[in-house]
Amino acid sequence: MLTATPLTGHNSLPAMDDQERLCRMARDVARKAYAPYSRFRVGAALLCEDGSIVTGANVENRSYGLTICAERSAISAAVSTGKRRFVALAVAGIDAHYPLPPCGACRQVISEFLPADAAVYFCCAGSPAVTSTVGELIPFDSLTELADSAPHVPERP
Ligand SMILES: [Zn+2]
């Protein structure tokens, strides 16, 4: 169930100020999107377990299928700096008139790196953010066990 306020009963949900900060950063980075084809700019802000925040924007391509969504940009950027543990994600479509949820492909990638009870916020330019969790966005994720059983790769110090 999606709500406009933080859900209760999820221990890993960040405080409301984290939601506001993440949504603001997602909106800010959306201005850097490369979206000449759709003109639909999206940003994402990823709260890492260490408290840092990594952002990403959508990067389109004239071969449309190669477009990279903001959520995957942020996760790729974070992993590229050695971060692998995340606690929340905000997605903001600043050209949307409704809170913008992640697409199906991004939900799969999000579930690789964020636990099922991690908060995911959908934002747009105006409306209040919608709060959900990874488990709500991708329920019955039987591949979770596969990710959990992946060979351990040491994190960078
Ligand atoms: Zn996506």
Q: What is the secondary structure of the chain as a DSSP string?
A: --BSSPPSS-TTPPPHHHHHHHHHHHHHHHTT-B-TTT---EEEEEEETTS-EEEEE-B--SSGGG-B-HHHHHHHHHHHTT---EEEEEEEETT-SS--PPPHHHHHHHHHHS-TT-EEEEEESSSPPEEEEHHHHS-S-TTHHHHHTSPP-PPP-
Determine the distance separating the centroid of ligand 1 and the alpha carbon of 108, expressed in angstroms: 9
Determine the distance separating the centroid of ligand 1 and the alpha carbon of 58, expressed in angstroms: 9
Determine the distance separating the centroid of ligand 1 and the alpha carbon of 134, expressed in angstroms: 14
Query: Largest alpha-carbon pair distance within the chain?
Result: 44
- CATH classification code of 16-145: 3.40.140.10
pLDDT of 4 over the 70 cut: no
pLDDT of 91 over the 90 cut: yes
Instruction: Given the residues 49, 71, 136, 155, select the one marked as catalytic.
Output: 71
- Residue pLDDT, tens place only, 13-64: 566 688 999 999 999 999 999 999 999 999 999 999 999 999 999 999 999 9
- The pLDDT value recorded for residue 153 is 60
- The pLDDT value recorded for residue 157 is 52
Mean pLDDT within 139-155: 73
Determine the distance separating the centroid of ligand 1 and the alpha carbon of 104, expressed in angstroms: 6
Is position 71 annotated as part of the catalytic site?
yes
